[in-house]
A and B are shown apart, each in its own frame.
Chain A
Amino acid sequence: MLPADRAQVPKILILATEACAYPGADNVGQIHAEYPANTYVVRVPAPVMFSEPFYLHCFEKGIAGIIVMSCGHECPYPGAYDTLATRISRVHELMGERGIQTNRLRLCAVCTVCSKAFLKEVHQMHELLTSTV
């Protein structure tokens, strides 16, 4: 692949919770399962800390897809998951208003050994972005 082509590969940002999804992403590596290299996992204590504009800015800057991998209802912080889910819905609305495909932002739950769930999410997002972008 030529350098110029590579620059076209859409980038996926994964916000992974410290308690569940980040160790889950490590687990995928531990079993040496492969997934596209255009994915960047960023460790966060709780993605609830990001406001709506954060996501929109990411898209503006050139991130093609965002997967928020949370702990789901096993979240160690009370109330955080529900707030996060509400916020993501609101970001979806804002994305719609701006003409950004809403399925470019996904919220899911990934546990410490959920390698299958992790891979499914990454592959799905990759498919979506490479077929449409």
Chain B
Amino acid sequence: MHHDKIDTDALVIGGGIAGLQAALDLADQGFRVLIVEKQPSIGGKMIGLSKVFPTLDCCSCICTPRMAEAEHHPNIAIMTYTEVRHVRREGDRFIADLVKKPRYVDEDKCTGCRLCEYACNTELPHEFEGDLGVRKAIYVPFSNAVPQVALLDLENCILCGRCEKVCPVGAIDFLQQPQETVVRAGTVVVATGYETIRTDFKKEYGQGRLPNVLGALQVERLLAPHGPYGRVLRPSDGKVPDSIAYVQCAGSRDRSAGVSYCSRVCCMYAIKQAMLLCGTLPLADITIYYMDIRAFGKGFEQFYQNAKAMGIEFVKAKVASITEDQQQNPIVRIEVIEEDGRVEQRQHDMAVLSLGLVPGWDPREVGLAAPAPDGFIRCTQPMIAPCRTPDEGVFVAGCAAGPKDIPDSIIEAGAAAMEAAAYLHEHTHVAGKETTTTCMK
């Protein structure tokens, strides 16, 4: 098997917004950085969001410049669709084993023209659209993916060969093999992000089988200007929903779901989605069932008060269960926390689970120190040096160290980059001194 060797100053694991920012802040100081991303595009969860709270900026407009900057930065190399298998220390360097998964498309040749995608007849649920839209067996991951390179889903491919025939540059390669790479790096930044808890985490909430009960990230896609339906519809019958329920703390602050912590972003994203829905569906009633509204960040409380003034209904209640009626309208059973504490059933056209954030990666899988009891990366000096981990020279940024919003992730990424830079300085890998780097784009 062919082995590549890369020598770099910093290895950043994860190409979401935290990883990109950490990489940029290191690269701007003159350090060489390799970003390893397991997905076929960088951009992480952020690139799939519609707009961001509390400014309601278009999310793509904030995320794509960072993606482009990283892609074109002379000190940054990016490997997408690549997994980190193992990280170990050797003297004062880290050695990481990487495996680049086969795309079955030659990245250097592919121009992202999508002719293969148009030729392919196999239709599958589109992961980027929260399975709401359709993709082909060969496809560019999404419209603003970086790199703009197609990916062949061999598992679902019927090997008809149409893509190969139409590809103008002969980029299709059914025989592509996984490619191993060994990286030597002076420091490691872990920015592996989060996953939302699976919709079947709680049997009382329909176990992911109710078509009109959606996860919040799916609604992000519905609200995105380039989303799967191009408008907000409910999945079961394409009806425009008149009444939408938000179920807060779905998989957060809930020991029965195994998540006792607050996921920190759900209050705000629910309020944001509710406001966007008000704009798209001015006649719809939107109800948010919550325990506490945690609008703690800069401009958040004002955003919350605006949402109230817009007529979004906030009900302090626990949602005990969600079922559906014959028209597949979600029936939400609530225990009101205030007033008389009554139990009520309310019918909505669509219900949204404000899903909690859970760790997306276990550092033990690659030989790094065990995570904290909450499953996120353990921070050894959370107060005055919040990015340090039990592994000296390994720093953490963003949601890998617990749920947080985009500004907090970006700030923490800057902090991780600063720690990594200081570590490199103190271990003599001063920027520019080591010129043997053979990073490839």
> Which A residues are closer than 8 A to B by beta carbons?
19-20, 23, 27, 30-32, 71, 74, 111-117
- List A contacts of B114 (CB < 8 A): 32
> Which B residues are closer than 8 A to A by beta carbons?
57-58, 60-61, 64-65, 114, 143-144, 224-226, 230
In this complex, what residue of A is CB-closest to B231? A116
Tell me whether B230 and A116 are in contact (CB under 8 A): yes
Tell me whether B58 and A113 are in contact (CB under 8 A): yes
Tell me whether B144 and A112 are in contact (CB under 8 A): yes
In this complex, what residue of B is CB-closest to A20? B61
Tell me whether B61 and A74 are in contact (CB under 8 A): yes
Tell me whether A27 and B61 are in contact (CB under 8 A): no
- List B contacts of A111 (CB < 8 A): 58, 60-61, 225
12 new A-B contacts, CB < 8 A, other than A19-B61, A114-B58, A115-B226, are A19-B65, A20-B58, A20-B61, A23-B64, A30-B143, A30-B144, A71-B61, A111-B225, A112-B60, A116-B225, A116-B230, A117-B225
- List B contacts of A31 (CB < 8 A): 143, 226
In this complex, what residue of A is CB-closest to B117? A32
Contact of B225 among A23, A32, A115 (CB under 8 A): A115
Tell me whether A27 and B58 are in contact (CB under 8 A): no
- List A contacts of B65 (CB < 8 A): 19
Q: List 24 A-B contacts (CB under 8 A).
A: A19-B61, A20-B58, A23-B61, A23-B64, A27-B144, A27-B226, A30-B144, A31-B226, A71-B61, A74-B57, A111-B58, A111-B60, A112-B58, A112-B60, A112-B144, A113-B58, A113-B60, A113-B61, A113-B225, A114-B225, A115-B226, A116-B225, A116-B230, A117-B225
Q: How far is the CA of A112 from the CA of B144 in the complex (A)?
A: 9
Ranked nearest first, the 3 interchain pairs of A and B with the lowest CB-CB distance are: A111-B58, A113-B60, A112-B61
Q: How far is the CA of A11 from the CA of B179 in the complex (A)?
A: 51
Min Cβ gap A70→B in Å is: 12
Given contacts A27-B144, A32-B114, A113 and B226 within 8 Å (CB-CB): yes
Q: How far is the CA of A34 from the CA of B61 in the complex (A)?
A: 22
Min Cβ gap A120→B in Å is: 11
Min Cβ gap A43→B in Å is: 15
Q: Report which residue of A71, A111, A115 has the largest number of chain B beta carbons within 10 angstroms of its beta carbon.
A: A111
Q: How far is the CA of A112 from the CA of B143 in the complex (A)?
A: 11
- List A contacts of B224 (CB < 8 A): 113
- List B contacts of A117 (CB < 8 A): 225
Tell me whether A113 and B57 are in contact (CB under 8 A): no
Min Cβ gap A22→B in Å is: 12
In this complex, what residue of A is CB-closest to B118? A32
Q: How far is the CA of A23 from the CA of B57 in the complex (A)?
A: 15
Min Cβ gap A21→B in Å is: 10
Min Cβ gap A113→B in Å is: 4
Tell me whether A113 and B230 are in contact (CB under 8 A): no
In this complex, what residue of B is CB-closest to A30? B143
In this complex, what residue of A is CB-closest to B57? A74
Q: How far is the CA of A111 from the CA of B143 in the complex (A)?
A: 14
Q: How far is the CA of A71 from the CA of B58 in the complex (A)?
A: 10
- List A contacts of B60 (CB < 8 A): 111-113
Q: How far is the CA of A124 from the CA of B358 in the complex (A)?
A: 46
Q: How far is the CA of A112 from the CA of B61 in the complex (A)?
A: 5
- List A contacts of B58 (CB < 8 A): 20, 74, 111-114
Min Cβ gap B141→A in Å is: 12
Min Cβ gap B111→A in Å is: 12
In this complex, what residue of B is CB-closest to A117? B225
In this complex, what residue of A is CB-closest to B68? A23
Q: How far is the CA of A27 from the CA of B58 in the complex (A)?
A: 14
Q: How far is the CA of A114 from the CA of B51 in the complex (A)?
A: 12
Q: How far is the CA of A133 from the CA of B357 in the complex (A)?
A: 57
Min Cβ gap A77→B in Å is: 15
- List B contacts of A27 (CB < 8 A): 143-144, 226
Tell me whether B230 and A112 are in contact (CB under 8 A): no
Q: How far is the CA of A60 from the CA of B143 in the complex (A)?
A: 38
- List B contacts of A19 (CB < 8 A): 61, 65
- List B contacts of A20 (CB < 8 A): 58, 61
- List A contacts of B144 (CB < 8 A): 27, 30, 112-113
Min Cβ gap A60→B in Å is: 34
Q: How far is the CA of A101 from the CA of B368 in the complex (A)?
A: 68
Q: How far is the CA of A24 from the CA of B207 in the complex (A)?
A: 38
Q: How far is the CA of A117 from the CA of B225 in the complex (A)?
A: 9
- List B contacts of A74 (CB < 8 A): 57-58, 61
In this complex, what residue of B is CB-closest to A74? B57
Min Cβ gap A114→B in Å is: 5
In this complex, what residue of A is CB-closest to B148? A30
Q: How far is the CA of A27 from the CA of B64 in the complex (A)?
A: 12
Q: How far is the CA of A112 from the CA of B64 in the complex (A)?
A: 8
Q: How far is the CA of A37 from the CA of B65 in the complex (A)?
A: 28
Q: How far is the CA of A40 from the CA of B61 in the complex (A)?
A: 22
Q: How far is the CA of A120 from the CA of B91 in the complex (A)?
A: 61
Q: Report which residue of B60, B65, B224, B225 has the largest number of chain A beta carbons within 10 angstroms of its beta carbon.
A: B225
Q: How far is the CA of A111 from the CA of B224 in the complex (A)?
A: 12
Min Cβ gap B86→A in Å is: 37
In this complex, what residue of A is CB-closest to B145? A30
Q: How far is the CA of A31 from the CA of B117 in the complex (A)?
A: 12
In this complex, what residue of B is CB-closest to A29? B143
